[in-house]
């Protein structure tokens, strides 16, 4: 089903690609205080942004399955409820990593230069992010009944999370009060960690902190998603 949804895959990549093409060149002569050039600053942020917008809307599929009776049919099967959730999450991780690879390849054509290990570390962070956010998205989809209830909640979270994570510009460039608020947004630590990896600074404290936040977020999200699926019998 995912492979047949080529338009969904391509349009999911469209927004960060537009930022890459039209916004990236504007940053080349701006001091970003990120320890790397403009592409090493922008591309990691766009990878996290891609995870935010792609994974948080994954729950739409569950809402559609509920409306067409697919969830009801699953309730009478002996399949593990955890397996049903993990199967969906694996699909979302593969989809997001595929889109991230395409984004990085286009960025290389524009001038991105980053060590292979740093890029692979970035992919690992994106995969964990997809796991966490998709699990929460599925949990929300099991709670609400219609797309009209689901979409406003996701959009209300995505917009401030995107702005306060520093996906386009490092939050160190923001006013002090805004920088302080951004420290309460977990995605900021993932952005900072991937940026340090893209410049080859693998032992930087930001990388370790970002890894800890990512794992904690994934554990909490997976626990919440599993419990919701078990209670719903799906």
In a domain, 22, yes or no: no
Mean pLDDT of all residues in 6-25: 74
The pTM score is 0.85
Q: Please count the CA atoms within 13 angstroms of the CA of 195 that sit on its side-chain side.
A: 28
Lowest mean pLDDT among 75-79, 90-94, 110-114, 219-223: 75-79
Is the residue at 26 inside a domain?
no
**Does pLDDT of 148 surpass 90?**
no
Residue 81 maps to a domain: yes
Domain presence at residue 205: yes
Return all residues near 5 (Cβ < 8 A) that are at least 6 apart. Answer: none
Say which residue, 199 or 82, is predicted with more confidence.
199
Mean pLDDT across 39-66:
86
**Which tokens is 226 given?**
């599993």
Q: What is the pLDDT of residues 80-123, one digit of tens each?
A: 767 778 888 898 898 889 889 989 999 999 888 899 999 999 99
- Domain boundaries, position 74: 6-15+35-232
Please compute the mean of the pLDDT values over residues 53-63 and round it to a whole number.
85
In a domain, 27, yes or no: no
Distance (Å, whole) CA 125 – CA 121: 6
38 burial via Cβ count (<10 Å: 0-12, 13-18, 19+): buried
Nearest of 132, 128, 111, 146 to residue 36 by alpha carbon? 111
In three-state secondary structure terms, 217 is helix
Number of domains within the chain: 1
- The rounded percent of the chain whose pLDDT value lies above 90 is 32
Domain membership of residue 25 (yes or no) is: no
- Give the model confidence (pLDDT) of 159-191 as tens digits: 888 889 988 888 888 889 999 999 999 999 999
The mean pLDDT of the chain is 84
Give the CA angle between residues 207, 134, 98 to the nearest 5°: 70
Q: Band of the pLDDT at 2, cuts 50, 70, 90?
A: low
In a domain, 20, yes or no: no
Q: What gap in Å lies between CA 234 and CA 231, rounded to an integer?
A: 8
User: Residue 48 has what pLDDT?
Assistant: 92
Is residue 84 a part of any domain in this protein? yes
């Amino acid at each position: 089903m995912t492979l047949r949804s080529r338009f969904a895959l391509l349009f999911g990549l469209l927004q960060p690609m537009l930022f890459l093409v039209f916004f990236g060149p504007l940053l080349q002569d701006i001091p970003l205080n990120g320890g790397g050039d403009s592409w090493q600053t922008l591309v990691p942020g766009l990878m996290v942004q891609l995870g935010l917008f792609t994974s948080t809307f994954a729950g739409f599929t569950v809402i559609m399955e509920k409306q067409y009776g697919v969830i009801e049919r699953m309730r009478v099967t002996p399949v593990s409820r955890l397996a049903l959730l993990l199967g969906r999450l694996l699909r979302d991780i593969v989809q997001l990593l595929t889109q991230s690879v395409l984004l990085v390849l286009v960025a290389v054509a524009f001038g991105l230069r980053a060590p292979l290990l740093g890029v692979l570390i970035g992919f690992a962070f994106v995969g964990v992010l997809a796991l966490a956010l998709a699990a929460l998205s599925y949990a929300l989809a099991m709670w609400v009944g219609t797309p009209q209830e689901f979409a406003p909640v996701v959009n209300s979270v995505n917009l401030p999370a995107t702005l306060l994570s520093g996906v386009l510009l490092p939050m160190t460039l923001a006013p002090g009060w805004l920088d302080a608020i951004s420290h309460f947004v977990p995605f900021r630590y993932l952005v900072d960690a991937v940026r340090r990896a893209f410049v080859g600074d693998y032992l930087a404290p930001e990388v370790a902190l970002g890894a800890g936040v990512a794992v904690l977020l994934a554990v909490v999200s997976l626990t919440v998603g599993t419990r919701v699926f078990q209670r719903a019998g799906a």
